Amino acid sequence: MKTVDSFNFKNKKALVRVDFNVPLNDKYEITDLTRIKAVEPTIRKILNDGGSAILMSHLGRPKSGPEEKFSLKHLVNELSDRFGTMVKFASDCIGEESIKLSEALKPGEILLLENLRFHAEEKKGDAGFAQKLAKLGDVYVNDAFGTAHRAHASTSVIAQFFDDKMAGYVMEAELANVKKVLERPKRPFTAIMGGVKISDKILIIEKMLDKIDNLLIGGGMSYTFFKALGGNVGKSLVEEDKLELAGMLIKKAKEKGVNLELPIDSVIADDFNNNANTQIAKNFSIPDGWMGLDIGPEAREVFSNIIRESGTILWNGPMGVFEMPNFANGTSAIAKAVVEATEKGGFSLIGGGDSAAAVNNLGYGNKVSYVSTGGGALLEYMEGKELPGVTALE
């Protein structure tokens, strides 16, 4: 796979697939710049070489056609300030205007195309649509690891129309860091799995049991395990159809010599809101009418001690409903322990999505080894699946 470092972009128009799927508030202001900052070095390399950059991305999930709240025009000011140049904007990613703007683009300039998903052909992986996009640039760069698991027009189909196609710095770093964890982990290797559903994590848990020493399970998915073990979990979230599966994973971990740790206790609440009444309960005996919304103090202690002694850490998914301050302590404690392990020389990979948001919000983004920008793509790669966006560059 070629990377941007091995290419000179002088006088070239680089068509760059970026991941600008950023959160906007009701005033259309960007509330988290992580994804924009991540792709900045790739864009700067192109401009510094004397090339120009044509940026294409999706934003949100538009139903059918253009929607104001999903327009990429809301990013123009931020990008212009960041790169010190007036970023040009095409109000459609294909068609007359985008062709004219791309043809007129001079070295050092940036053109941002409107949301790719305003066209249904993008998600369908339509070759005709991909070819129209391809005509805008001389070379193709994919730096959107977060969408690499999708066989969409701009992420994989488009590559066939270019002789020069390559990975940007984000794509390169994501793959290098995942390989480091999967192929050369420093022991002990601890995986921390949180979030709501076992069904979302089943494949990665099964795959990782062959590689890890410790598996720490928190978040909503832990209550399915407790119910499978015969515990009373009150009205905590349980996937009833996954009880057998949870039992099987516990058995498999034992057979493979993996230390599977479930949280001893929980912060429980009588309602799903930040101001609910709360108490601490052991996870085998949560009273009826109460639900677990965060790992408890004993669990925080046990988990943190294991994490601090780890050589390699993979973390995917929060320990509780961390969006509510009263149920964020578990996630904060785990983040702090991951930082401490990293400071002691451990390698920590934070797997996208909510865990990445939690680490960044706590100000620990630069205190862990790597924060992945690709939630679903990272999971699928670790599950051993082929990523169309990666394969297309090989």
Per-residue pLDDT reduced to its tens digit, 264-310: 999 999 999 999 999 999 999 999 999 999 999 999 999 999 999 99
Q: Kindly report, residue by residue over 101-147, the tens digit of the pLDDT.
A: 999 999 999 999 999 999 999 999 999 999 999 999 999 999 999 89
Q: What local confidence, expressed as pLDDT, does residue 383 receive? A: 85
Cβ neighbour number for residue 106 with a 10 Å cutoff = 8
Is the preceding peptide bond at 185 cis, omega within 30 degrees of 0? no
Instruction: Say whether pLDDT at 90 is over 90.
Output: yes
Q: Which residues contact 289 (CB under 8 A, 6 or more apart)?
A: 234, 235, 270
> What is the SS3 assignment for 355?
helix
Average pLDDT over residues 224-235: 95
Q: What local confidence, expressed as pLDDT, does residue 355 receive? A: 84
Q: List Cβ<8 Å contacts ≥24 apart for 338-343.
A: 338/192, 338/307, 338/313, 338/364, 338/368, 339/364, 339/367, 339/368, 340/307, 340/308, 341/307, 341/308, 341/309, 341/310, 341/313, 342/313, 342/367, 342/368, 342/369, 343/367
Q: Kindly report, residue by residue over 311-368, the tens digit of the pLDDT.
A: 999 999 999 999 999 999 999 999 999 999 999 999 999 986 778 888 888 889 899 9
For residue 170, give both structure tokens. 């984000």
**What is the rounded distance in angstroms from the CA atom of residue 117 to the CA atom of residue 119?**
5
CA distances from 3 to 6, 138, 139, 165, 348 (A): 6, 16, 12, 8, 24
**What is the rounded distance in angstroms from the CA atom of residue 312 to the CA atom of residue 310?**
6
Q: What local confidence, expressed as pLDDT, does residue 352 receive? A: 66
The whole-chain average pLDDT of the chain stands at: 95
Task: List active site positions.
Answer: 35, 197, 353, 376
Instruction: State the pLDDT confidence band at 64, using cuts at 50, 70 and 90.
Output: confident
Place of tokens 């703007």: 101
Instruction: Say whether pLDDT at 375 is over 80.
Output: no
- Better-scored residue on pLDDT, 119 or 198: 119
52-56 and 110-113 beta bridge pairing: parallel
Instruction: Say whether pLDDT at 35 is over 70.
Output: yes
Percent of residues, the chain, with pLDDT higher than 90: 86
For residue 295, give both structure tokens. 């790992």
Q: Which residue type occupies 223?
A: Y
Average pLDDT over residues 38-47: 97
Sign of the dihedral defined by the CA atoms of residues 230, 233, 234, 235, in that order: negative
CB-count exposure of residue 290 (10 Å: 0-12, 13-18, 19+) = buried
Q: Which residue type occupies 36?
A: I
291-295 and 265-269 beta bridge pairing: antiparallel
For residue 368, give both structure tokens. 């862990």
265-269 and 189-193 beta bridge pairing: unpaired
Q: What local confidence, expressed as pLDDT, does residue 198 receive? A: 85
Q: What local confidence, expressed as pLDDT, does residue 333 receive? A: 96
Average pLDDT over residues 150-154: 96
> What is the SS3 assignment for 215?
strand
**CA proximity to 133, closest of 118, 147, 113:** 113
Q: Kindly report, residue by residue over 68-79, the tens digit of the pLDDT.
A: 999 999 999 999
Q: What local confidence, expressed as pLDDT, does residue 329 receive? A: 96
